[in-house]
Amino acid sequence: MTSAPVQDQLVENLLEAMTWEEKLGQLQIAFRPRLQDAADLVRGGIGAIFWPRSAAATNELQRIAREETAHGIPLLVGLDVIHGQRTTFPVPLAQAASFDPAVSETDARVTAQEAASGGVNWTFSPMIDVSRDPRWGRVVEGFGEDTYVNSVFGAAKVRGYQGDSLGDPDSILACAKHFVAYGQAEGGRDYNTVDVSGQRLRNVYLDPFRAAVDAGVATVMAAFNTVSGRPAHANHHLLTSILKDEFGFEGVVVGDADGVVNLLDHGIAEDLDDALRQSFAAGLDIEMGGNVTTSDGGTRLGPGDVPSARVDDAVRRVLRLKLALGLFADPYRSPGDEVVVPSSESRRAALTTAEKGLVLLKNHSVLPLGTARQRVLLVGPYANSTDHLGAWVQSFAEPAGSLAEAIREECPEWDVTVREGTGFFGGDLDLIGQAVADAADFDAIVVAVGEPSALTGEASSRSDLRLPGAQEQLIRAVAATGRPSAVVMFNGRPLVTSDWIDAVPALLEAWHSGLEGPRAVARALSGAVNPGGRLPMTFPRSSSQVPIYYDHENTGRPAKVSGSLAGGVVDVGLMGPGNTDDHYTSKYKDLDLGPQFPFGHGLSYTTFGYAEVDVSPTTITLAELQAGRTVKVAVTVTNTGDLTGDEVTMLFIRDLVASLAQPVRRLRAFTRNSLGAGETKTSSFELGWKDLGFSDNNGRYLVEPGAFEIHVGGGLEGTARCGLDVLA
């Protein structure tokens, strides 16, 4: 690899030699449906394309770029490789449920190797949009409702995709998206308006992007939405002042698909030329769609439209990435080495990830069923469905099998009878009745339900968060038999379970867990695997309770359940069931307080106990914090049950009195430990300057002196509380 100064010189030499049209050609990516004649586009000087589906096809386009264009500039080849190329890992939301960022780093590594082998050198992932509204279909693509979880998992993905060096043959460019606040779309309706306060923008939505930049992310994608009236694609304050100037981002800002064209419908641009002019002036570096140049070799922007220094800056950013990837030295892939079938190691990694993301939401001594001989009735549309890969799956990915098949392989002693009872949609109560008519003949019943993956992802918002079709009726019919039964739910967002949850003995959240998802579930049902995942998003009681999230502000009139929590600390995340007669408080009159299942909830087949939390020191000054001194928090957890299991320990803070109202809890650290029966482990955390403060409405980060609470435990429930005083 050539040294940085030599690379810089190469970039400057190229810039010197390129015409205005050649420069603008580098600032766009054409996507596949419009790739009528990719070869012509490349001959015409386009700098980036969507993946043409094989190493051989990519090599030919790279050859044209290298040999038939004036300066031989190789191509960026992009693709949405979100949770797998050939080996599909669990959807990102399920990965977040593992509370183990190492699984996402592994996913990204495997994904990068598979994608790079076919010529992809740029993925549009990770999505790190904090998502607090499960109606939004895209919650499946990100890491849930918490800012810190999105930061940690996003950075892990970036490390995995980009590897130790972009110059390594199996490294690809990552893309942190969508910049910014896309998760706040009003009403959870995709592409809808975002109106976000300055402090929420900074404290909730921007932080994961700062973490991605710190992790060295090579590209960032602008969001479709407006922020304070200005679409992100044309938002100089966001793209340049914050991302590039303040965060020091030196990579490429890419637009979203037709995001520049969409400025016309936003009503801020008169025509496409105007939209392009505004976007590049705001700080966009690559337009997604291929609209910058015209078919006759001209461009939509003249030298007077955008300052030439801005265009040079964008081209410089693009060329630097191409050099860093080593494409000038060798843009070709060996077609014989292209990974088209998952290796056994990749499958194993996908299985581990799927197992770690399983969340046991409820269990009244039904699970695990054990491996011994027994008659099991498997009902529900997910018994035979192979729709496990989830949103953003590649059409050429290795297909998954069904839960029924996986159970037969993993639990060979079971005598399994499979009846769907109902499909995903529609449904016939007579058929449901027939499916469970001989329930008494079975030792256990497993109900496999969920939402098909087509109901999740982009442009797939839902107004009703209940299971579609007659699946709830099926669940109730099984519960009414009184036989031991467990519901397994396959879905890509929090769902509403309130109409049936009290009737069922057990509920396992399985998500859309990818190629090995069904096997992971079969192993959890038998007990070969002990579920240890936790919810990365709150499960509401009702669709009209959203948005609902654990790190809400207290409000001036919080609803209180009598005797719920001492010391004026009210945490709606922990409340319910029950309501209150306290009239003038923040609540719904017709709904129990609090969520159905809070953020961080998840059970195990074993039990865990926490000893005292040790905080040291318990007093610290602002000056000490600023100088880098930290507060150490240590807690000891013991597996108090009979089985090996994983425990996620979380640390939350609460700033009790501040100049801006603060969330009732903020997650600042977590760790996942595997403990054998009776085993004890100590987890240690450090809290410093960056953990205790917040950004004010002027974008200034500050830690304010005063009393803090530190809550440590296995989630929001049952945490130990300690004090910390920050002195002026």
Looking at the Cβ atoms of 90 and 142, the one nearer to ligand NOJ is 142
256 is catalytic: yes
- Per CB under 6 A, contacts with ligand NOJ among 164-183 are 177
Distance CA 212, CA 219 (A): 10
C-alpha to C-alpha distance for 602 and 714, rounded to whole angstroms: 9
Q: Is 89 in the site for ligand NOJ (CB under 6 A)?
A: no
Question: 553-558 long-range contacts, Cβ below 8 Å, gap at least 24?
Answer: 553/661, 553/662, 553/663, 553/664, 554/661, 554/664, 555/586, 557/584, 557/585, 557/586, 558/585, 558/586
As a whole number of angstroms, the distance between CA 374 and CA 377 comes to: 10
Q: Does 80 bind ligand NOJ (CB under 6 A)?
A: yes
Closest approach of Cβ 288 to ligand NOJ, in Å?
A: 7
Closest Cα to residue 476, out of 498, 500, 454? 500
Tell the smallest beta-carbon distance from residue 460 to ligand NOJ (Å).
12
Strand partners, 637: 610, 681
Read off the DSSP letter of residue 292: S
The phi and psi torsions of 287 (rounded to 5 degrees) equal: -90, 135
Q: How far apart are the first and last CA of the chain?
A: 50
- Looking at the Cβ atoms of 177 and 210, the one nearer to ligand NOJ is 177
Shortest gap between Cβ of 257 and ligand NOJ (angstroms)?
4
Q: Report if residue 192 touches ligand NOJ, rule: CB under 6 A.
A: no
CA–CA distances in Å: residue 262 to residues 35, 143, 186, 486, 625: 20, 27, 18, 47, 46
In terms of CB distance, is 257 or 314 closer to ligand NOJ? 257
Measure Cα distances from 386 to 474, 511, 528, 534 in Å: 20, 13, 22, 25
d(C-alpha 350, C-alpha 459), whole Å:
27
Min CB(182)–ligand NOJ separation in Å:
8
> Would you say 252 or 407 has its CB closer to ligand NOJ?
252
Least Cβ distance, residue 80 to ligand NOJ (angstroms): 5
Q: Which residue is nearest to ligand NOJ (CB)?
A: 124
Quickly list H helices, 414-562.
Answer: 429-436, 471-480, 517-526
Contacts with ligand NOJ by CB under 6 A: the residue count is 6
Q: Is 458 in the site for ligand NOJ (CB under 6 A)?
A: yes
Q: How far is the CB of 598 from ligand NOJ (least distance, A)?
A: 29
For residue 536, give Cα distances in angstroms to 150, 509, 727. 10, 12, 33
C-alpha torsion sign, points 455, 458, 462, 465: positive
Question: Could you say which of 51, 99, 124, 153 contacts ligand NOJ (CB under 6 A)?
Answer: 124
Between 264 and 661, CB nearer to ligand NOJ: 264
Cβ nearer to ligand NOJ, comparing 288 with 525: 288
Q: How far is the CB of 185 from ligand NOJ (least distance, A)?
A: 12
Nearer to ligand NOJ, 80 or 387 (CB): 80
Residue whose pair of structure tokens reads 């307080």 in the numeric block? 593
Burial of 296 (0-12, 13-18, 19+ CB in 10 A): exposed
In this complex, which beta carbon is closest to ligand NOJ, that of residue 458 or of residue 679?
458
- 657, amino acid identity: V
| SS3 of residue 687 by DSSP | strand
Buried b (16+ CB within 10 A) or exposed e, 393-417: bbeebbebbbbbbbbbebbeebebb
Residues 216-275 that bind ligand NOJ (CB under 6 A): 256-257
Determine which one of 100, 133, 190, 256 is catalytic.
256
Residues that bind ligand NOJ (CB under 6 A): 80, 124, 177, 256-257, 458
Residues forming the active site: 256
